A and B are shown apart, each in its own frame.
Chain A
């Protein structure tokens, strides 16, 4: 039986002990829009609209990849990571808490217009699951796997498929950072041959497969496939719970901008990584959940006004993901806007003297339309 404690790197556990889940006497008077509840499992409706803190060591352990770039810059400037608790995330957490893990995995699709906070909702859920001790398979952006690939190798496993060594090795490195302890505990169930001389025996820890993928970059995509397969087969036993978190899942069923050497276009199913991920997102396994996000921002050949699942996934993707639980994410409510505005003022991010006035606040609300991304971009130069 695996230890059901926190699945965090041992270095982060030292930082965790200093963060208590009860109200800590703060050094500075806490404002209304902050909450000292840093465990997502305890977030309820009364925390809605408030910002909770994630300690920086935990951020490095849980999110080696996956946070949006602007949020990473914000963490560096403010020296803290504050995430807002919003209604879609609370809904998802309630579903996850009440889900029966003996049943096949339920698929959740987070959708919404551009810049409303889908990726941050996904990150909130990933944080909750890693605190609860789940094994988290977080693919930060599936669009990165279908475009701008410098090296495409023909796969040695299946002649008709193409490998992507660079993307696969980057993902394996980040997977290793976030799920250290599972790599020692999960054992392989089959013998895998990496080329003529190297092989991994049955019963070896999964960490060896990951090391193999990192050392021999040519077989990194196959290593990713092996990891996904092993994890999926063993999840129903109940020794660990699996979360598959994919950002930009509409990339798996769209088109790619990659071309083979004879300049013919590559379709997504010809890529090993995409093929294995599609198998992962099917609901033929039990013992976990699949949480995905649609994203128009990185998507290929989709109009910028498209945001609904049917438009972004297309017929093929919709049929593959059907049935799923749709979770819409909207712009900030007035309370959330107040909270975000107050946070920027408190952290001295809004420096313009007019930004503190009522006129400035009304102007910010009007210009951004309460859209989180627009507000962030507007507040940057101010």
Chain B
């Protein structure tokens, strides 16, 4: 669409609504630019920048900037997967509680692994992984299914058809399975960090109920191989 003129920019910035309203929309005028959070991009001196980057910097001097969402962090310790998992654990918008549960989980994993590490003999010490982030990422990777099932109705009957999954869908399914497993199948008095750390350590070693659920899904897909041609995309 045509960019608004420089003179009309000030007047037309507020009270701007597009003609069509999509479902997830933002009321920002498209002239608002995204915020830049990485520290490295501001530490480069002006001479080292390329032509496009210099134009970008000059554009940022005149254009307004959108507000940064609270999940966007400039911390060196921030991890997008951990943030996504925290958001999925969150209930009724209580991000403070979800984040504290996540940090308690990571601390619990670290404590368990460090105790094992200090008690192990010298030759086994290298095999024990103590970094909770590495364990978290590996456990999620182990839980991701390769192939999924979808309901396709043909001739009045619904069939479970094996379909390929996108990366996002795989990550989502792994996280969802972990969280539902921790919420449902535990003793009433166990705390979430304790149960989650237990499940993550089991998944890291390719054991546990979540891995079993993934294998069950794979077996169903293998069994329904015959219906694979029902998929048309």
Q: Mark B82-119, 1 if CB is under 8 A from A, else 0.
A: 00000000000000000000111011001100110110
Given known pairs A351-B110, A381-B102, the reply for A360 and B131 (CB within 8 Å) is no
In the bound complex, do residue A363 and residue B115 qualify as a contact, i.e. CB atoms below 8 Å apart? no
In the bound complex, do residue B77 and residue A382 qualify as a contact, i.e. CB atoms below 8 Å apart? yes
Q: Mark A201-217, 1 if CB is under 8 A from B, else 0.
A: 00000000000000000
Q: Mark A73-103, 1 if CB is under 8 A from B, else 0.
A: 1001111000000000000000000000000
In the bound complex, do residue A357 and residue B133 qualify as a contact, i.e. CB atoms below 8 Å apart? no
Chain A positions within 8 Å of B111 at CB level: 73, 77
Cα-based distance from A78 to B114 in the complex (angstroms):
8
Cα-based distance from A348 to B107 in the complex (angstroms):
13
For chain A, residues 338 to 380, give those with C-beta under 8 angstroms from any C-beta of chain B. Answer: 348-349, 351-355, 357, 359-360, 363, 380
Distance in Å: Cβ of A159 to nearest Cβ of chain B: 41
Cα-based distance from A8 to B132 in the complex (angstroms):
40
Given known pairs A77-B115, A380-B103, A381-B102, the reply for A351 and B132 (CB within 8 Å) is yes
Q: Pick the contact of A348: B76, B77, B114 (CB < 8 A).
A: B114
Chain A positions within 8 Å of B56 at CB level: none
In the bound complex, do residue B77 and residue A352 qualify as a contact, i.e. CB atoms below 8 Å apart? yes
Residue from A77, A79, A355, A381 with most neighbouring chain B CB atoms (10 Å) = A381
In the bound complex, do residue A77 and residue B131 qualify as a contact, i.e. CB atoms below 8 Å apart? no
Chain A positions within 8 Å of B76 at CB level: 354, 357, 359-360, 363
Q: Pick the contact of B107: A354, A357, A380 (CB < 8 A).
A: A380
Chain A positions within 8 Å of B26 at CB level: none
Residue from A73, A351, A363 with most neighbouring chain B CB atoms (10 Å) = A351
In the bound complex, do residue B77 and residue A351 qualify as a contact, i.e. CB atoms below 8 Å apart? no
Q: Does B75 contact A (CB under 8 A)?
A: yes
Q: Does B130 contact A (CB under 8 A)?
A: yes
Cα-based distance from A363 to B76 in the complex (angstroms):
8
Chain B positions within 8 Å of A349 at CB level: 110, 114
Cα-based distance from A76 to B133 in the complex (angstroms):
22
Chain B positions within 8 Å of A352 at CB level: 77, 131, 133
In the bound complex, do residue A381 and residue B115 qualify as a contact, i.e. CB atoms below 8 Å apart? no
Residue of A nearest to B105 (CB): A381
Given known pairs A77-B111, A79-B118, A359-B76, the reply for A351 and B103 (CB within 8 Å) is no
In the bound complex, do residue B77 and residue A360 qualify as a contact, i.e. CB atoms below 8 Å apart? yes
Chain B positions within 8 Å of A76 at CB level: 115
Chain B positions within 8 Å of A363 at CB level: 75-77
Given known pairs A357-B76, A380-B107, A381-B103, the reply for A351 and B133 (CB within 8 Å) is yes
Chain B positions within 8 Å of A73 at CB level: 111
Cα-based distance from A78 to B118 in the complex (angstroms):
8
For chain A, residues 309 to 352, give those with C-beta under 8 angstroms from any C-beta of chain B. Answer: 348-349, 351-352
Chain B positions within 8 Å of A380 at CB level: 103-104, 106-107, 110
Chain A positions within 8 Å of B130 at CB level: 348, 351
Chain A positions within 8 Å of B102 at CB level: 381
Distance in Å: Cβ of B120 to nearest Cβ of chain A: 12
Residue of A nearest to B112 (CB): A77
In the bound complex, do residue A77 and residue B103 qualify as a contact, i.e. CB atoms below 8 Å apart? no
Chain A positions within 8 Å of B117 at CB level: 348
Cα-based distance from A73 to B39 in the complex (angstroms):
36
Chain B positions within 8 Å of A77 at CB level: 111, 114-115
For chain B, residues 43 to 98, give those with C-beta under 8 angstroms from any C-beta of chain A. Answer: 75-77
Cα-based distance from A352 to B104 in the complex (angstroms):
15
Cα-based distance from A76 to B119 in the complex (angstroms):
12
Q: Please give the residue numbers on chain B whose beta carbons come within 8 Å of chain A beta carbons, in ascending order.
A: 39, 75-77, 102-104, 106-107, 110-111, 114-115, 117-118, 130-133
Q: Please give the residue numbers on chain A whose beta carbons come within 8 Å of chain B beta carbons, in ascending order.
A: 73, 76-79, 348-349, 351-355, 357, 359-360, 363, 380-382
- Listed A/B pairs (27) with beta-carbon separation below 8 Å: A73-B111, A77-B115, A78-B118, A79-B118, A348-B114, A348-B117, A348-B130, A349-B110, A351-B110, A351-B132, A351-B133, A352-B133, A354-B76, A359-B39, A360-B76, A363-B75, A363-B76, A363-B77, A380-B103, A380-B107, A381-B102, A381-B103, A381-B106, A381-B107, A381-B132, A382-B77, A382-B106
* A-B CB proximity, top 3 nearest: A381-B103, A381-B106, A380-B107
New A-B contacts (5) at CB < 8 Å, excluding given A78-B114, A380-B110: A351-B110, A351-B131, A363-B77, A381-B106, A382-B106
